Amino acid sequence: MLPLFISYTYLLLSTAVQIGNAAAGKINIFILAGQSNMSGRGGVVNLTWDGYIPPESSSNPSILRLTANLSWVPAAEPLHRDIDVAKVCGVGPGMSFANSLLRKDSRRFGVVGLVPCAIGGTNISEWVRGGDLYEQMMRRAKAAVHGGGVIQGLLWYQGESDTVSLEDAECYKNRLHRFFVDVRADLHLPLLPVIQVALASGSGSYIDIVREAQLGTKLENLRTVDAKGMSLQDPERLHLTTPAQVSLGKMLSKAFLQTSNPLSS
Ligand SMILES: *[C@@H]1O[C@H](CO)[C@@H](O)[C@H](O)[C@H]1NC(C)=O
Ligand SMILES: *[C@@H]1O[C@H](CO)[C@@H](O)[C@H](O)[C@H]1NC(C)=O
Ligand SMILES: *[C@@H]1O[C@H](CO)[C@@H](O)[C@H](O)[C@H]1NC(C)=O
Ligand SMILES: *[C@@H]1O[C@H](CO)[C@@H](O)[C@H](O)[C@H]1NC(C)=O
């Protein structure tokens, strides 16, 4: 723990010296939640990750990741490797998102802290308030704040698992709305920026219903980016490729900057 603590303190201090503004010393926290495409499967073929990290997703001393044991460490893909442990993780949108924010304005964003919480194959019912995934996400979010940060946004990419049964698909809109409202209430951030991704296709038959629910959910400071047309990985064509994840990260950062948020003004 000690070396980690020292290097982290050093990181904060050195960043504070460099940027010298109000954001210095505070970690700007983003929660990453949902299922496999948020967790990241870019470059995973036949249960093996190819290890390729594109420059847009590379590590940067100003990007941290909250580990499963709740410590901040320098972030590197795969961001979910100690969170989504039942699956082989690859590249997701998180690092590209954070790098993109820092490229736009490194002074304003200071240190970005990513809090990975996504788990592959999960349906929205499993993310209900009181359920394990929801409570785990809240614990991690609160630990992140306790470690010196301010929550700036939620990135959400989920829904594939709710395209299989008609009943689930029809309940999706209400469940999604409830989820966003509960997260904001429990974090005491009524206008927390939420950036969600609309699914392009799915293995279930009811993709259109879920997609309409996503695109039709209107809340202040909620933005939706559309994954339609993004490249999917062979042979299963179930997950975004690494280049698609890089593009998605940039889209998420652009959408975040369009929300009204202390950091984006
Ligand atoms: C993955 O497995 C399939 C079927 O076993 C094989 O045809 C393909 O070459 C493998 N691809 C890679 C990248 O290993
Ligand atoms: C927490 O996780 C980090 C990174 O995985 C590791 O370096 C560190 O030793 C762990 N700390 C504890 C207290 O387990
Ligand atoms: C959601 O997933 C869980 C775990 O796989 C399953 O037990 C449950 O039946 C699913 N719920 C719905 C509404 O599909
Ligand atoms: C991953 O995202 C793509 C694009 O939206 C979608 O077609 C696919 O169904 C998703 N896969 C999973 C498992 O969520």
- Banded model confidence at residue 13, pLDDT cuts 50, 70, 90: very low
User: What are the pocket residues of ligand 4 if the criterion is a CB atom closer than 6 Å to any ligand atom?
Assistant: 35-37, 160, 199-202, 227, 230, 232, 238-240
45 CA from centroid of ligand 1 (Å): 7
Predicted pLDDT of residue 203: 77
Best substitution site from 8, 71, 73 to test ligand 2's pocket, by max atoms within 8 Å of Cβ? 71
Neighbours of 151 (CB within 10 A): 22
Query: Measured from the CB, is residue 47 less than 6 Å from ligand 1?
Result: no
183 CA from centroid of ligand 1 (Å): 41
Which residue's CA is the nearest one to ligand 2's atom 9?
1
Torsion of Cα atoms, 157 then 93 then 208 then 217, to 10°: 50
Q: What's the pLDDT tens digit per position in 240-252?
A: 999 999 999 999 9
SS3 content of the chain, % helix, strand, coil (to 5): 40, 20, 40
Q: Domain count of the chain?
A: 1
- Which tokens hold the place of 58? 């590379």
Torsion of Cα atoms, 174 then 175 then 176 then 181, to 10°: 90
Report yes or no: 121 and 161 within 8 Å, Cβ to Cβ. yes
* Cα 173 from Cα 40, distance rounded (Å): 24
Give the position, in ligand 1's atom list, of the atom nearest the Cα of 48. 14
* Cα 254 from Cα 105, distance rounded (Å): 12
Best substitution site from 45, 46, 88 to test ligand 1's pocket, by max atoms within 8 Å of Cβ? 46
**Section 130-141 average pLDDT:** 98
Query: Of 2-11, 48-57, 87-96, 133-142, where does mean pLDDT reach its minimum?
Result: 2-11
Ligand with smallest separation from the Cα of 196: 4
247 CA from centroid of ligand 4 (Å): 15
* Cα 117 from Cα 82, distance rounded (Å): 10
Which residue's CA is the nearest one to ligand 3's atom 7?
126
User: Omega into 243 within 30° of 0, i.e. cis?
Assistant: no
Query: Measured from the CB, is residue 46 less than 6 Å from ligand 1?
Result: yes
- Banded model confidence at residue 188, pLDDT cuts 50, 70, 90: very high
69 CA from centroid of ligand 2 (Å): 6
Nearest to 191 by CA among 203, 206, 181: 181
Best substitution site from 64, 67, 140 to test ligand 2's pocket, by max atoms within 8 Å of Cβ? 67
* Cα 114 from Cα 171, distance rounded (Å): 30
Ligand with smallest separation from the Cα of 74: 2
Output the domain CATH number for residue 122: 3.40.50.1110
Ligand with smallest separation from the Cα of 124: 3
Q: What's the pLDDT tens digit per position in 190-209?
A: 999 999 999 988 778 999 99
This prediction's pTM? 0.90
Predicted pLDDT of residue 14: 40
Range of the domain at 109: 2-264
Q: What's the pLDDT tens digit per position in 14-28?
A: 433 332 333 446 899
